[in-house]
Amino acid sequence: MNARLARWLARVPPAHRLLLIGLAMLALPHLLRLPAWLALAIPALLLWRLAHDAGRVRLPSRFVLLGLVAAAVAGLFVHYRTLIGRDAGSALLLFLIAAKLLEMHRRRDVYVVLFLADFLIVVGFLFEQSLPYTLWMGATLLILLAAQIHFARHPAGGDDGPLGPDLRLATRLLLQSLPLAVVLFLFFPRPGGPLWGMPEDALGARTGLSATLSPGRISHLSDDDAVAFRVRFRGPPPPPGRLYWRGLVHVHFDGRSWYAPHHPVPALQPAELDLQELSDPVHYTVTLEPHDRRWLFVLDAPLSVPLDTVITVDRQVASPRPVSELKRYSAISVLRYRLDTRHRPGPVYLAVPDGAAPRTRALASRLRAAQADDRALVNAALDYLRSEPFFYSRQPPLLPDDPIDGFLFDSRIGFCEHYASAFAVLLRLAGIPARVVSGYQGGEPNPLDDYLIVRQSDAHAWVEAWLAGEGWVRIDPTAAIPAERILETPERLRPRRAEAGDRVQTAPGWLQRGLRRIGFVWDMLDERWNQWILGFDRHRQIDLLQRLGIDPFDWRATAGLLGALAVLALAGLLLYLRWRDRETHDPAIRIWRRLCRRLARHGLVPAPGETPRAFGRRCARKMQGSARDLERIVALYLRLRYAPDASGRDLEEMQRRVRGLKLDEKA
């Protein structure tokens, strides 16, 4: 079977194989984002073209092809409700490229496919800009460029000639373009908004926290190991138990879900907040992955936040626009504090809908009757969670219409959202102002570099209660659950160890350590990529120009800098070309290479191992009008290279004949 397949593929012209490989590499990252029927149709079209080039099937007629395109357009419109935009437009373009292969007969059709593929490479960066994707697209561009060079060198159809020289030339061209790309990356003016993105797709399906907190949301993130953000501390990082990354503050409760305010009220400047008994400040820098929302994540309690952000009365840090690209910001926080001790919060922090959670109301009344002090009541409520059979599970059972009573008195199985929501309602019904905060807790240090990795699986929710004389105090009711009550699933009440390192591992220890180290190395590379490439925004560009002594707001100075860099690049290119021509001291070789470059424009390239005489005869057969001149030039070249009695007159004659050579295919 393998031998038959090898013989079958050997019939496909090498250039066509190269083109189809490049298109398959281009389509692969898009397939997971496409509808299932389209993700199957595109590989089918590529295989159809491959089978045709192998002589196994015929290409479809124009009517069949038009029917396929019409069906695909209709299907895309039904799926996306539009044909415009990032998702629908890229899907349509990818299908049209695959369909164009089925009517690719002339070299012009090949160029259309190649140019559309090059454009789709750029479109792909609207979805992904990570280091692996960039490397994959770089390899794809190399393959497609080599195919384009091969078809240009062989106008007859690209069916003859080796692919090695084309791949080497494509690699050399890409490497030569890197200096210009670096100059444009560093100095070309950048827009104020995202470099990659489209407004209509800004609220796509990104993972992350939601402004609505109801049982089920964070449970979906608990198994997601995607990076939420990375943090670098100035100095040693705080202990993991103090790392509460504050994100959203949920104030409004409708009986089932918690909501953050739609229009957060800005507070005083951070330095004017009522902070007392401060601990030493913690300085850190966060590199936040795009999540298409406005909120940022900081440690409690923030003293200093970025200049382009707003801190609300609930100490929620918000950006003026959604974070749709990598965002890097610095902040200062204190981990021991007393906040807002003088002013009791308003009634919104005590609001619970009438008729909601009647059994919880009764429990709150009993706790209040037994504990007149707010702090004692909070401790009694935590003791209630410890003493009663509450369990932690990431897969809790469905709750009835009243989720608070259903959780506290019926199922008693849940995760952090259940505990935070129920505990905040219990405190409110007992007369203690409370709110729910969602964010992340902890983080994983990268032992190969000095930063912390916070993943989506670290998503967490906790409670803040206002206590007289203490102000807003953080309370984590989930932490009150003993470790022996942590379950894998609610159906099988098996004890589950809290620490990931204690879980049963099936792989050998050396393999686990090796894979873990590879993961840290890759994350370090990804962090560097985010910091120096994706994080190079307009502000960092302005800072770079100012360090170079250039006013970034003076267009004349910027234009002068770009012009000077362009002149230097051109001068460097000219010096390289001159050095390449002088790389040999034999003038006969330089003249011969000049002749070969002229012949290459007509599709005549020396084959590996082909002698100058054999190459000259092959060229003479094609260029019959110039056959005698070519034969004389080859004879002179061989005489100059190998005859001991070659003279300067032979060199002058060869140079004169090459300069005056007119390549003519006519006899």
Residue by residue, what is the 3-state secondary structure of 634-666?
A: HHHHHHHHHCCCCCHHHHHHHHHHHHCCCCCCC
pLDDT at residue 250 in the model: 92
Active site residue 223: no
| Mean predicted confidence (pLDDT) in 538-553 | 70
Helix (H, G, I), strand (E, B) or coil at 282: strand
State the pLDDT at residue 41: 92
pLDDT at 276: 54
Q: Look up tokens 């609505």; give the residue.
A: 212
Q: Give the residue from 136, 98, 170, 211 showing the smallest Cα distance to 438.
A: 211
Structure tokens at 36: 């299932």
Binned at pLDDT 50, 70 and 90, residue 202 comes out as very low
How far apart CA 297 and CA 309 sit, in angstroms, is 12
Q: Using CB atoms within 10 A of its CB, is residue 650 exposed (0-12), middle (13-18) or buried (19+)?
A: middle
Q: What is the pLDDT of residue 427?
A: 94
pTM, two decimals, is 0.63
Tens digits of residue pLDDT in 123-168: 888 888 888 888 999 999 999 999 988 888 776 544 556 777 888 8
For residues 301 and 281, give the distance between their C-alpha atoms in angstroms, rounded to a whole number. 10
Which amino acid does the sequence have at 257?
S
Could you tell me the sign of the dihedral formed by the alpha carbons of 281, 286, 291, 294, in that order? positive
Contact 404, 356 (CB under 8 A): yes
Is-catalytic flag, 554?
no
| Beta bridge partners of residue 487, listed in sequence order | 495
The Cα–Cα gap between 163 and 171 comes to: 12
Name the residue with higher pLDDT: 566 or 650.
650
Compute the distance between CA of residue 592 and CA of residue 74 in angstroms, rounded to an integer. 58
Q: Please check the confidence at residue 585 and state whether its pLDDT lies above 80.
A: no
Query: Which residue among the candidates 53, 405, 416, 619 is catalytic per the annotation?
Result: 416
Would you say the C-alpha torsion 331, 335, 336, 341 has a positive or negative sign?
A: positive
pLDDT at 538 > cutoff 80: no
Is 166 catalytic? The answer is no
Which is the catalytic residue, given 166, 405, 476, 523?
Answer: 476
Whether residue 169 is predicted with pLDDT greater than 80 in this model: the reply is yes
For residue 584, name the pLDDT band (cuts at 50, 70, 90).
Answer: low
- Which residue has 């905040």 as its token pair? 424
Residue 51 CA to residue 56 CA, distance in Å, equals 5
d(CA 568, CA 349): 65
The answer on pLDDT for 639 being more than 50 is yes
3-state secondary structure of 322: coil
The CA angle 341-349-240, to the nearest 5 degrees, is 65
Catalytic residue among 16, 52, 150, 460: 460
Q: Which of 255-264, 481-490, 632-641 has the lowest mean pLDDT?
A: 481-490
Give pLDDT, residue 437.
94
Distances in whole angstroms, Cα of residue 152 to Cα of each of 144, 527, 558, 605, 619: 12, 40, 38, 12, 18
Q: Predicted confidence band at 378 (pLDDT cuts at 50, 70, 90)?
A: very high
User: Which pLDDT belongs to residue 359?
Assistant: 92
